[in-house]
Structure 1
């Protein structure tokens, strides 16, 4: 109940702030949607040059992209820590966080929540619905809880990887460029992994498992058209739990190492 009440208070504070600058809120929403729109247009342009991509049709890849947007939007809402090192380490705001009883990662994420990113998830669901009709897929009632479960697993993968990478700030004073690099790598997860080399396919599946945030879980809903991928989809929640546990361990270890501003 403590964490639920804290979440509600942080959300109210965010709403009060954004209501003061409403134009900024809608500009941010529009910019996020335009960015996602450009990515979608890129996929459509690719399919102007080919009928399939690694055995996947245009509608299937667009469906995967729609699924990809759902967990990414949720992740972006609660994980906006790109300036963590400057704000919390260099300026010492981590000291303030550590004086409070709630878990420090929970506080940091809620202080930087970005609800406009959630609009991307809604657009992703809309893209999936349109592609669903184009692919003439059969709908089963258990797809709803499976969608929620697979989305949760994908969000945990995002959270785990980026929590571990953000925690590097506790170990190094110098800013690193690894977060933007990882942001670019994650985009490979929305394409069929069989178009990559064996090494890259292995990395995207089992080392930096971004395949589990897009192509693999999305394949579960494609009516056995890609059984090789669909068979892995059920591992998404397990992979999510493992990756998040690793990320949380790296974070907690880094917090123990923290000794104050500039440490």
Structure 2
């Protein structure tokens, strides 16, 4: 008989949802990062250190995790401002690998063993509440003047520059905001597992975030949330297939990409086919 710990699974869905929303914000300006897994781990490590040395409400640990992701994310965005496309992806991949190796060799972070003994502060209400806050933030982002500016930067940075858009500022803002959100997800994660290790920032984590957004859809906040739900839920529902469940999960992902290459939630599902984003005209008229 298939047994599913729904409390744990819902917490994991919320964590993945918050992380995917953060990656979605960064991707909205065309920055294909392969280093967000490392930012996820950094957020978790900062939250773990805060929890181990400071007796505070859980929201303090989440804020610490957000800073743990946002600050290095912003610094990384400054270094990679001149890079685009595959060169940007390679640079962030190198950053992710370097961070994981560095953490694993620092006694301050307890090396490869990671930081354990953290209080289990992530409850289901906290996880779902954080996801709701992240959804609201990204929903507002989607309908703000920043969205069309980020979209213009994503589709053609050179044309965006001609239109007077500060491409560098948009890229810095989306990377820092997305990295901070991913850091909050890392803080939720360590509060649910009570331990964080360098492996929690590996390339596989970055790839998982990318796939959640791509499968769900890259043009609306609904896409990352749906992608996180499917990414987390399908392997559990396919447990009856035992060793074949990952094969079945991969097959489902391939079918989804073949049928909906733009993601399950497309632009027409969100704002109507052929309709312009409500802030586009106003934003571009200012530039």
- Whose RCO is larger (CA < 8 A, sep 6+)? 2
TM-score range, shorter chain: 0.3 to 0.5
Instruction: Using structure 2 for the length normalisation, give the TM-score.
Output: 0.33
Question: What is the TM-score of this pair, normalised by structure 1?
Answer: 0.35
